[in-house]
């Protein structure tokens, strides 16, 4: 009897050992499958949202960035980090409502099963906030802005004054810069009073994380933007947007960039753009 009981004990112990090994094997297999899925899936699905100066059809005006160069450093750096990157194209002279509706449609068309981490510059951030409002927070995981007039900018009021008076500066921009202020229907919407009046359409949406970085040029700034900042009374900022107006959501820091070098390809500001993109990548990975 004792022998039988001992044998039964050995059988039960052996069976329990087999069960433990089977569970461990299944756990290992699940871990391997998870690692393989992680390797196949990009760590982020970034959508780059341009401001008005970088939209397609801009004509490559001498004062501004060529469309093919806009966001080029951003795309190259983020792809190198393993991100899937999509560059949105918006109407060059469209209103926030028009551009936001186009962006909404493009987000829905190109989501591909993964929500977007939107990275927006200048007016593009207001377009993105409105598009997220239209989407009710769906299809977008986060929005990060840089050099964006989140609370408007006094340079818009200055531009409106030049249009109304057809001033020397209006004709200088039109004839020399090939940039007709009168054709830009979004300008009145970048005034602080417009953003305040339509605050509901720009409100944060549940489930979407927001952050911003400040372009605050202190050295090596573009001369036209230095002049622009002086003329329009922008104060400390990137030449077109005050630093205090660029803040929205979590703070990703300040960078020695002006409105053009933020998204350009000039070598002088390359390392500063990379410093911002490293901070951006860390934020979207941890949030």
When pLDDT is averaged across residues 275-283 and rounded to a whole number, the result is 97
How confident is residue 65, by pLDDT bands cut at 50, 70 and 90?
A: confident
Residue 105 parent element (H or E): helix 96-110
Which tens digit of pLDDT belongs to each residue from 178-189?
778 888 889 999
Question: Coil, strand or helix: which one is 252?
Answer: strand
Helices (H), 180-243: 192-197, 223-232
* Cβ–Cβ < 8 Å for 146, 216: no
Which tens digit of pLDDT belongs to each residue from 211-228?
999 999 999 999 989 988
Instruction: Indicate the average pLDDT of the chain.
Output: 84
- Could you tell me if residue 109 is left (phi over 0), alpha (psi between -120 and 50 degrees) or otherwise beta? alpha
Residue with the larger pLDDT of the pair 33 and 279: 279
Cα-trace Rg, the chain: 26
Measured in residues, the chain has a length of: 287
- Say yes or no to pLDDT of 144 above 80: yes
């Amino acid at each position: 009897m004792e022998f039988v009981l001992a044998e039964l004990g050995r059988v039960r112990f052996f069976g329990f050992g087999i069960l433990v090994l089977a569970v461990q094997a299944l756990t290992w297999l699940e871990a391997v499958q998870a690692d393989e899925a992680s390797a196949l899936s990009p760590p982020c699905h970034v959508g780059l949202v341009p401001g008005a100066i970088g939209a397609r059809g801009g004509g490559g005006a001498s004062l501004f960035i060529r469309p093919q160069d806009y966001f080029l450093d951003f795309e190259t750096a983020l792809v190198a980090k393993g991100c899937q990157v999509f560059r949105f194209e918006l109407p060059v002279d469209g209103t926030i409502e028009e551009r936001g509706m186009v962006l909404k449609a493009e987000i829905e068309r190109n989501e591909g099963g993964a929500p977007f981490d939107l990275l927006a510059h200048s007016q593009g951030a207001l377009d993105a906030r409105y598009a997220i409002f239209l989407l009710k927070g769906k299809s977008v995981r986060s929005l990060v802005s840089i050099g964006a007039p989140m609370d408007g900018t006094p340079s818009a009021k200055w531009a409106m004054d030049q249009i109304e008076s057809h001033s020397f500066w209006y004709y200088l921009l039109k004839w020399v810069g090939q940039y007709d202020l009168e054709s830009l229907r979004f300008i009145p919407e970048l005034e602080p009073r417009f953003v305040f009046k339509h605050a509901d359409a720009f409100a944060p949406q549940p489930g979407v994380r927001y952050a911003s970085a400040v372009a605050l040029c202190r050295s090596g700034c573009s001369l036209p933007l230095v002049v622009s900042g002086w003329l329009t009374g922008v104060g400390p900022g990137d030449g077109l947007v005050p630093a205090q107006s660029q803040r929205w959501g979590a703070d990703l820091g300040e960078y020695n960039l002006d409105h053009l070098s933020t998204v350009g390809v000039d070598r002088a500001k390359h390392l500063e753009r990379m410093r911002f993109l490293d901070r951006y990548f860390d934020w979207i990975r941890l949030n």
